[in-house]
């Protein structure tokens, strides 16, 4: 693997994920070369904070501020978005979210060490196949203002059967706060009104994570094991 690829891909990923990321970066290099851009895939992936940032984030403005032309930035984002939407039509290829650890493994490399709090919604189909990990909010280290309707809208638009919320604590400590528990309760109430299954709310830190459903099952009306 080249030094450029090594620098662009996080070092704490599984071998399988690193292989996928390397393929992604090579394809991105080819796209940039054909577009006439002087930027490399390493530049773009680093600006997006990893391949996952390009796949799941909204980075057009950030790429332009870093010097990419508007044409190149929009081309990269449109291509990645189209590829993500296209692959969603192959259910056999969807990642299965069967347990909290599955979702944590997806989210950690994307924004687990973000200096700002990010809130994402993982949308699943009837077989717990991941339809999308939708970025809803970016806040500050002191908190995020959340509207319940904005969290559920992407689930409805994707025709999801269920969803899980996942956000990071920039401090690195994934212990849920009182605000996290309040948000979980409000999300559950709204999801039940809409007949959508609310699977869990994960809080991720630096290499650690907590499932609120496992830690506070009473929110879902269940007893602790």
* 26-36 residue pLDDT tens: 777 777 776 67
pLDDT per residue over 18-77, tens digit each? 666 677 677 777 777 766 777 777 777 777 766 666 665 566 776 777 677 787 777 777
Q: For 130, left (φ over 0), alpha (ψ -120 to 50), or beta? A: beta
pLDDT per residue over 149-205, tens digit each? 989 999 999 999 999 999 999 999 999 999 999 999 999 999 999 999 999 999 999
Q: What does the alpha-carbon distance between residue 54 and residue 47 come to, in Å, rounded to a whole number?
A: 9
Return the exposure string of 16-47: e unless at least 16 CB atoms fall within 10 Å of the residue's CB, then b: ebbeebbebbeebbebbeeeebebbbbbbbbb
Q: What does the alpha-carbon distance between residue 78 and residue 63 come to, in Å, rounded to a whole number?
A: 13
Q: Please report the pLDDT score of residue 145 as a whole number.
A: 62
Q: What's the DSSP call for residue 99?
A: S
């Amino acid at each position: 693997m080249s030094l450029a690829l090594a620098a662009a891909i996080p070092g704490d990923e599984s071998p399988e994920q690193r292989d996928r990321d390397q393929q992604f970066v090579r394809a991105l290099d080819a796209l940039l070369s054909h577009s006439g851009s002087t930027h490399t895939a390493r530049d773009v992936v680093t600006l997006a904070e990893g391949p996952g940032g390009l796949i799941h984030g909204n980075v057009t403005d950030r790429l332009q501020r870093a010097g990419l032309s508007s044409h190149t930035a929009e081309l990269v984002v449109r291509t990645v978005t189209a590829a993500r939407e296209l692959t969603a039509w192959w259910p056999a290829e969807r990642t299965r979210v069967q347990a909290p650890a599955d979702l944590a493994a997806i989210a950690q490399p994307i924004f687990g060490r973000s200096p700002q709090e990010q809130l994402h919604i993982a949308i699943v189909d009837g077989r717990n196949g991941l339809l999308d990990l939708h970025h809803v909010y970016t806040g500050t280290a002191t908190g995020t203002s959340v509207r319940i309707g904005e969290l559920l809208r992407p689930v409805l638009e994707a025709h999801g059967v269920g969803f899980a919320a996942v956000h990071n604590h920039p401090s690195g400590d994934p212990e849920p706060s009182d605000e996290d528990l309040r948000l979980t309760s409000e999300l559950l109430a709204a999801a039940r009104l809409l007949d959508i299954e609310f699977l869990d709310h994960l809080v991720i830190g630096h290499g650690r994570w907590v499932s609120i459903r496992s830690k506070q099952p009473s929110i879902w009306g269940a007893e602790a094991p």
